[in-house]
Amino acid sequence: MLNTIVKKEALETIVSYRFPLFALICLLLIPLGMSVNQADYGKRVRDYQEQVRLADAAAAALKIQDVMAGTVAIKGFRRPAPLSVFTQGFESTLPRYYEFTQDGFKPGESVGGGESILSVQGQVDFVFLVQMVVSLIALLFASDMISGEKEAGTLRAMLSNRLPRDTLLAGKIGGGFLALWIPFLFAFLIGAALLLLGAFPLFGGDTPARVATIFLASSFFVLTYFVIGIAVSASTAKARTSLVAILILWAAFQLIIPKMSDMAARLIHPVRTETEISLQKSLLVRSLDLETAKELGRQYDLIFGGASPGTADDEKSPERKKWDPIRDGIQQRAREQKSRQLAAIDETYLQEKRRQLNLALNLSLVSPSAAFARFSADVCGTGELERGKYLDAVRSHQNTLETELFSKVKRTLMIHGGGGTSMSFTAMPVDTSKLPKFAITPASLAETFKADGRSIFSLAFWLIVPFGFAYFKFVKYDVR
Q: Which residue has the higher pLDDT, 169 or 311?
A: 169
Q: Is residue 122's pLDDT more than 50?
A: yes
Confidence band for 205, pLDDT divided at 50, 70 and 90 = confident
Q: Is residue 189's pLDDT more than 90?
A: yes
Strand (E) or helix (H) holding 321: helix 318-364
Sequence-separated (6 or more) residues with CB below 8 Å from residue 278: 106
pLDDT at 80: 92
Across 155-164, 199-208, 253-262, 460-469, least confident range: 155-164
Burial of 70 (0-12, 13-18, 19+ CB in 10 A): middle
Contact 228, 139 (CB under 8 A): yes
pTM score: 0.84
Q: Is residue 116's pLDDT more than 70?
A: no
Average pLDDT value over all residues in the chain? 86
pLDDT at 89: 87
User: How many percent of the chain have pLDDT more than 90?
Assistant: 36
C-alpha distances out from residue 418 to 294, 297, 299, 421, 425, Å: 11, 10, 13, 9, 22
Q: Which residue has the higher pLDDT, 317 or 77?
A: 77
| Collapsed DSSP state (helix, strand, coil) of residue 354 | helix
Sequence-separated (6 or more) residues with CB below 8 Å from residue 7: 175
pLDDT at 64: 66
Contact 444, 405 (CB under 8 A): no
pLDDT at 114: 45
pLDDT at 65: 64
pLDDT at 238: 85
Burial of 423 (0-12, 13-18, 19+ CB in 10 A): exposed
Confidence band for 121, pLDDT divided at 50, 70 and 90 = very low
- d(CA 100, CA 233) in angstroms, rounded, equals 58
The string of pLDDT tens digits covering residues 427-477 is 777 777 778 889 998 899 999 999 999 999 999 999 999 999 998 888 887
Q: Is residue 480's pLDDT more than 70?
A: no
C-alpha distances out from residue 344 to 277, 280, 339, 353, 369, Å: 11, 12, 9, 14, 36
pLDDT at 117: 34
Confidence band for 111, pLDDT divided at 50, 70 and 90 = low
| Collapsed DSSP state (helix, strand, coil) of residue 420 | coil
Contact 76, 396 (CB under 8 A): no
